[in-house]
């Protein structure tokens, strides 16, 4: 008996080291440090960077990516991916403006129907992934293309005006000096945080992403969870589309092209695993901040805009690469115990 206790105790030492290396807290902490570092670099290069005005500038650009990344985080945690988010965002604006301008539907109702269309797309994505068991990459690649096409068909490729003060408030308005879209994003993040970290639904999503079959055999309704997650991603993408339309006071079928990549980059940067089961919304939030601040800072420091994509891609690779090394290290420590 004594020997086993001693063995257990001695074995726990490397385990603790491994746990520390592997901890998700450290990932988030690293990220936060990266964020601060980036801010410091830009602050030393530009006088305007650290001003309140610039902060609000950044805040205004956070909303769209932030809102979509909430849904994307949940989808990735459940072990899937949603490539259709950019197309879906374009769809909500197009549907809303068409209904308002051409069918005389009141703008409020038109917006709700526009969002409804996105919910439907999300639900169909979920149906094909969860019920038909088609690979999510393929499913959402198809809807990425179909929905973008539909946006062009519905709008005949035209940009439509959406000038209405109430509608524009979401994209351009402030509440006590804080951009409304930023507030919306923060509220949604808070709600999603509660769901993912305190409820059974969130716990189940992690479990499903970790092992869908083990979750099913533990009595979790896997299909229902996946349906909900993709539907939610559709809704949030639609909402982001409304924010875009509201910011521009118009809807365009070309809106939000490439949004899926920015969002996935932010989420992965935030420590969410592409293979599912792992990730946090806090991490995603920091990831979104980093990408946006990077864009903003590069503009402030007058780096050619051609370099911006190069830089944000490199940051992604560095951050994820560093994380990978850290986890390998943790695994190595653990293996040897």
Binding-site ranges for another protein (CB under 8 A): 3-4, 7-8, 10-17, 19, 194, 198-201, 203-204, 206-207, 210-211, 213-221, 277-278, 333-334, 336-337
CB 332 to another protein: min, Å = 10
Burial class (CB in 10 A: 0-12, 13-18, 19+), 236: buried
How many Cβ atoms are within 10 Å of 50's Cβ, its own excluded?
Answer: 14
- DSSP-based three-state secondary structure for 251: strand
Distance in Å, CB of 137 to another protein, minimum = 21
Among residues 122, 78, 85, 69, the alpha carbon closest in space to that of 281 is found at 69
Q: CB-wise, 114 or 277, nearer to another protein?
A: 277
- Cα distance from N-terminal residue to C-terminal residue, the chain: 20
Q: Which is nearer to another protein, 74 or 333 (CB)?
A: 333
Instruction: Let me know: does 214 contact 207? Beta carbons within 8 Å.
Output: yes
Give the burial string for 300-328 (b: 16+ CB within 10 Å, else e): beeeeeeebeeebeebbeebeeebeebee
Q: Which residue number, 19 or 38, has a Cβ lying nearer to another protein?
A: 19
Of 14 and 116, CB closest to another protein: 14
Q: Which element (helix H / strand E) includes 68?
A: helix 52-77
> Residue 250 carries which DSSP code?
E
**Angle subtended at Cα 179 by Cα 174 and Cα 181, rounded to the nearest 5 degrees:** 115
State phi, psi for 273 to the nearest 5 degrees: -85, 135
Smallest separation, CB 194 to another protein (Å): 8
| Residues 31 and 269 sit within 8 Å (Cβ to Cβ) | yes
Q: Closest separation between CB of residue 205 and another protein, Å?
A: 11
* Residues 107, 227: Cα–Cα separation, whole Å: 29
Shortest reach from residue 220's CB to another protein, in Å: 7
Closest to another protein by CB, 214 or 274: 214
Q: Tally the C-alpha atoms within 13 A of residue 169's C-alpha that lie toward its C-beta.
A: 7
The nearer residue to another protein, 116 or 210, going by C-beta atoms, is: 210
Residue 262 main-chain phi, psi, to 5 deg: -60, -45
Report DSSP state, residue 127.
I
Identify which of residues 173 and 210 has a Cβ nearer to another protein in the complex: 210
In the complex, minimum distance from the CB of residue 222 to another protein, in angstroms, rounded to a whole number: 9
Cβ–Cβ under 8 Å, residues 81 and 138: no
Q: Which helix (H) or strand (E) holds 160?
A: strand 160-161
In the complex, what is the shortest distance from the CB of residue 272 to another protein, in angstroms, rounded to a whole number? 13
Q: How far is the CB of 198 from another protein (least distance, A)?
A: 4
Q: Closest approach of Cβ 5 to another protein, in Å? A: 10
For residues 93 and 277, which CB has a smaller minimum distance to another protein in the complex? 277
Q: Which residue's CB is nearer to another protein, number 208 or number 242? A: 208
């Amino acid at each position: 008996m004594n020997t086993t206790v001693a063995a257990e105790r001695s074995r726990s030492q490397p385990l603790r080291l491994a746990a520390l290396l592997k901890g998700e807290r450290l990932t988030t902490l690293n990220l936060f440090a990266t964020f601060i570092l980036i801010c410091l670099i830009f602050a030393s290069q530009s006088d305007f960077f650290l001003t309140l005005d610039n902060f609000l500038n950044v805040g205004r650009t956070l909303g769209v990516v932030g809102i979509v990344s909430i849904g994307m985080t949940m989808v990735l945690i459940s072990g899937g991916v949603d490539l259709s988010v950019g197309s879906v965002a374009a769809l909500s604006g197009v549907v809303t403006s068409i209904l308002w301008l051409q069918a005389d539907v009141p703008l409020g109702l038109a917006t709700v129907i526009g969002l409804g269309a996105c919910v439907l797309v999300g639900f169909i994505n979920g149906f094909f992934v969860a019920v038909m068991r088609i690979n999510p990459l393929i499913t959402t690649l198809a809807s990425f293309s179909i929905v973008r096409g539909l946006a062009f068909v519905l709008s005949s490729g035209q940009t439509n005006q959406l000038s209405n003060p109430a509608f524009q408030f979401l994209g351009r308005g402030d509440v006590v000096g804080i951009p409304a879209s930023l507030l919306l994003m923060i509220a949604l993040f808070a709600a999603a945080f509660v769901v993912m970290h305190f409820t059974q639904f969130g716990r189940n999503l992690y479990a499903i992403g970790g092992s869908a079959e083990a979750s099913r055999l533990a009595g979790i309704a896997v299909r229902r969870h996946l349906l909900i997650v993709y539907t939610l991603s559709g809704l949030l993408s639609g909402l982001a589309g409304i924010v875009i339309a509201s910011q521009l006071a118009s809807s365009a079928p070309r809106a939000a092209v490439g949004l899926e990549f920015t969002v996935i980059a932010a989420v992965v940067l935030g420590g969410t695993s592409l293979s599912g089961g792992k990730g946090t919304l806090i991490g995603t939030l920091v990831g979104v901040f980093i990408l946006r601040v990077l864009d903003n800072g590069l503009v402030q420091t007058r780096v050619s805009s051609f370099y911006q994509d190069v830089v944000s891609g490199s940051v992604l690779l560095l951050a994820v690469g560093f994380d990978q090394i850290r986890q390998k290290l943790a695994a190595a420590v653990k293996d040897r115990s």
